[in-house]
Structure 1
Amino acid sequence: MILTLTELQDRNVDDSLVLEPELKRLLDKYIDDYSDDFVQDMSHISQAANYAGNIAVDAIVHLKDNLYRCDYSYDWAIAWTCSGTQEAGRVKEKVRFTVETDGELHFKFLKLDA
């Protein structure tokens, strides 16, 4: 997935100490618009688990060069209609991405084959 942040165009992307908080702020601002890409398979919780919102960027970590890691989390819920009960929790995920000088962020989501 590619996300273009016009706010980063023509910026020095080499200074990770300055870029980390800026990336966190910008990704937190836009992540809800891309929740379909960020929300991963929840079958490890249950086949009935569904995304329940509240996606947020927890941290941005500089790894090396223009490679970063985004730590994020979101809520899940299961409505057991037969028993009238509900379960809920929060998932924590990580994704690596690169920052290009044109403001493009290239995310590398791990996709498991079924």
Structure 2
Amino acid sequence: MKLTLTELANQSFENGEELASELTVMLNEHIADYGDDFVQDMSHISQAAIYDGNILVDQVIFLKDNLYRCDYSYDWVIGWTCSGTQEAGRVKEKVRFMVNDNGECEFKFLTLSA
């Protein structure tokens, strides 16, 4: 998945820990628009678990060169209709991404094949 951060487009920036802090703020400003792309398979919780919003970038960590890791989290919920009860929780995920010179972030989500 690719996401262009207009704040970085046509700007001079240096990759590193300082940019990682700025990326945390920038991604939080945009992540609600891309939340569905960031939500992963929740079958490890339950087949009935669904995304319940409140997605947040917790931290961006500089790894090397133009490679970063995005730690993020979001809420899930299970509505047990038979008993009228509900379970809820928060998922923590990580994804690596690269930042190109034009401000484009390319996220590499882990995909499992059947």
Task: Tell me which interval the TM-score lies in, with the shorter structure as reference length.
Answer: over 0.9
Q: Which residue of 2 aligns with 1:86?
A: 86
Correspondence list, 1:88-103, <5 A: 88-103=88-103
Q: Secondary structure at the match of 1:79?
A: strand
Residue 9 of structure 1 corresponds to: 9
Taking the aligned partners of 1:66 and 1:13, their CA distance within structure 2 comes to 11
Distance in 2 separating the partners of 1:103 and 1:4: 6
Paired with 1:17 and 1:62, the residues of 2 have a C-alpha distance of: 5
Give the secondary-structure state (helix, strand or coil) at the position aligned to 1:53.
coil
Which residue identity lines up with residue 21 of structure 1 in the other structure? S
Map of 1:102-113 to 2, 5 A cutoff? 102-113=102-113
What is the deviation of 1:20? 1.0
SS at match of 1:19: helix
Does the Cα contact within 8 Å between 1:60 and 1:69 map onto a contact in 2?
yes
Identical-pair percentage: 67
2:72 corresponds to = 72
Tell me how far 1:58 sits from its aligned partner: 0.3
Task: Write the letter of the residue equivalent to 2:31.
Answer: I
Gaps of 5+ in 2: none
Give secondary structure in 2 for the equivalent of 1:96.
strand
Q: Which amino acid is the alignment partner of residue 19 of structure 2? A: L
Counterpart of 1:25 in structure 2 is 25
* Deviation, structure 1 residue 69: 0.2
Structure 2 counterpart SS, 1:54 = coil
